[in-house]
Amino acid sequence: MKKIALERRGITSSRLLFGCMKFCGGMQANPITEEEILKTERAVDAALSIGITMFDHADIYAHGQAEAVFGEVLKRRPQLRDQIVIQSKCGYRMEPGTTKRYDFSREHILNAVDRSLKRLGVERLDILLLHRPDPLMEPEEIAEAFDKLLSAGKVSHFGVSNVGSDQIKYIQSALPVPLIVNQLDMSLGRLDWVDHGILMNRKVDKVIRFPEGTLEHCRTENIQLQAWGSLAQGRFTGRVMEQMTEAEQLTAELVRNMANEKETTPESIVLGWLMKHPAMVQPVIGTVNPERIAACGDAARQSELMTREEWYLLYKTSRGQDIP
Q: Where along the chain do its domains lie? A: 5-242+273-297
The CA angle 27-96-57, to the nearest 5 degrees, is: 40
State how far the Cα of 314 lies from the Cα of 312, in Å rounded to an integer: 5
Q: What is the mean pLDDT of residues 298-308?
A: 98
Contact 117, 123 (CB under 8 A): yes
Q: What mean pLDDT value characterizes the chain?
A: 94
Q: Is the dihedral of CA 294, 296, 300, 306 positive or negative?
A: positive
Please give the pLDDT value at position 122: 98
Domain 5-242+273-297 top-level CATH class:
alpha beta
User: CB of 32 within 8 A of CB of 24?
Assistant: yes
* Confidence (pLDDT) at 1: 66
| Count of other CB atoms within 10 angstroms of residue 31 | 10
Q: What is the per-residue pLDDT across 111-160, written as a single tens digit (0 to 9) for each?
A: 999 999 999 999 999 999 999 999 999 999 999 999 999 999 999 999 99
pLDDT for residue 201? 47
Which helix H or strand E contains 109, and what residues bound it?
A: helix 106-120
200 pLDDT above the threshold of 70: no
Three-state secondary structure call for residue 203? coil
Confidence of residue 2 (pLDDT cuts 50, 70, 90): confident
Q: Cα 18 from chain centroid?
A: 8
